[in-house]
């Protein structure tokens, strides 16, 4: 099957942001006395902060405002965001296909922050569309965000290949009927060419 569109998650896929997100989460959850272990944070990769906080509030019976605490977490992340670096193996694929095939970002993050990260890393221009959590009703593992990215590219989902770093994201891609690439299997293969990685 000919692939006509590429879609990339951002955090942990294009950008090595997850350790910084964890630092921000650690600060905010300690302040609000929320129990949120690191392994659970990584397992919930791709889920918007506000949704994680709604779940924690119910589970732990704490009187917090999920939207307000999510904003605090975003502000803490922005404070350290200058430390973000590229995930070279994945960005090499986007760079190789720039101008040859339409590409989009599909992220469970916040639009403003995701665009800032892409611009800071000098890769925003690679993508025809950036779809984030505010633009869809159902979040990963629902397929909505990937389907919306394909719609904005004007490509049938069956002809899209999508890249992700979480189990939740992989479920979303497959539910969208797209070819799924788990970038966690690529990050140790730094000597492969972009062409090899994108096959």
Query: Is the confidence at residue 194, as pLDDT, over 70?
Result: no
Does residue 74 have a pLDDT over 80? yes
DSSP state of 41: H
- Alpha carbon separation from 84 to 79, 127, 154 (Å, rounded): 11, 19, 31
What is the full DSSP assignment across 133-162?
Answer: GGG-SSPTTSSHHHHHHHHHHT--GGGEEE
Q: Which residues are catalytic?
A: 9
- Answer with the residue of higher pLDDT: 171 or 199: 171
Percent of the chain with pLDDT over 90: 88
Is the pLDDT at 11 greater than 80? The verdict is yes
Mean per-residue pLDDT of the chain: 92
Q: What is the DSSP letter of 65?
A: -
Reported as a pLDDT band with limits 50, 70 and 90, residue 186 is confident
Model pLDDT, residue 193: 34
Domains of the chain (ranges; CATH) run 5-16+84-197 (3.40.50.1000), 18-82 (1.10.150)
Q: Which residue(s) pair with 104 in the sheet?
A: 7, 129
Rg (CA), the chain: 17
pLDDT tier for residue 1 given thresholds of 50, 70 and 90: confident
Contacts of 9 (CB under 8 A, 6+ apart): 46, 105, 106, 107, 108, 162, 163, 164, 165, 166, 169
Q: Estimate to the nearest angstrom the gap between the alpha carbon of 76 and the chain centroid.
A: 18
36/90 Cα distance (integer angstroms)? 29
What is the CB-side half-sphere exposure of residue 199 using CA atoms within 13 A? Answer: 4
In this prediction, residues 115-140 reach a mean pLDDT of 97
DSSP 3-state of 43: helix
Which residues make beta-bridge pairs with 161?
6, 179
Q: Could you tell me if 69 and 32 are in contact, meaning their C-beta atoms sit under 8 angstroms apart?
A: yes
> In the prediction, which pLDDT does 47 show?
87
The stretch 57-65 carries a mean pLDDT of 95
Please, where are the H alpha helices in 32-122?
Answer: 38-43, 49-60, 66-80, 88-97, 111-120
Average pLDDT over residues 58-74: 95
Average pLDDT over residues 55-70: 96
Taking 80 as the threshold, does the pLDDT of residue 162 lie above it?
yes
């Amino acid at each position: 099957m000919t692939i006509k569109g590429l879609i990339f998650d951002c955090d942990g896929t294009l950008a090595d942001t997850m350790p910084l997100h964890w630092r921000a989460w650690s600060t905010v959850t300690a302040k609000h006395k929320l129990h949120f272990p690191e392994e659970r944070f990584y397992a919930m990769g791709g889920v918007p902060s506000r949704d994680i906080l709604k779940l924690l509030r119910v589970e732990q019976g704490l009187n917090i405002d999920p939207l307000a605490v999510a904003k605090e977490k975003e502000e803490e992340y922005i404070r350290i965001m200058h430390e973000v670096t590229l995930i070279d193996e994945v960005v090499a694929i986007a760079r190789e296909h720039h101008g040859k095939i339409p590409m989009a970002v599909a992220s469970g993050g916040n639009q403003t922050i995701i665009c800032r990260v892409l611009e800071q890393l000098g890769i925003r221009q690679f993508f025809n569309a950036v779809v984030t959590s505010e633009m869809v009703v159902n979040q990963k593992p629902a397929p909505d965000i990937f389907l919306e990215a394909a719609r904005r590219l004007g490509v049938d989902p069956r002809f899209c290949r999508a890249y992700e770093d979480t189990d939740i994201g992989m479920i979303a891609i497959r539910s969208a009927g797209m070819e799924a690439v788990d970038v966690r299997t690529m990050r140790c293969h730094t000597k492969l060419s972009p062409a090899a990685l994108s096959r």
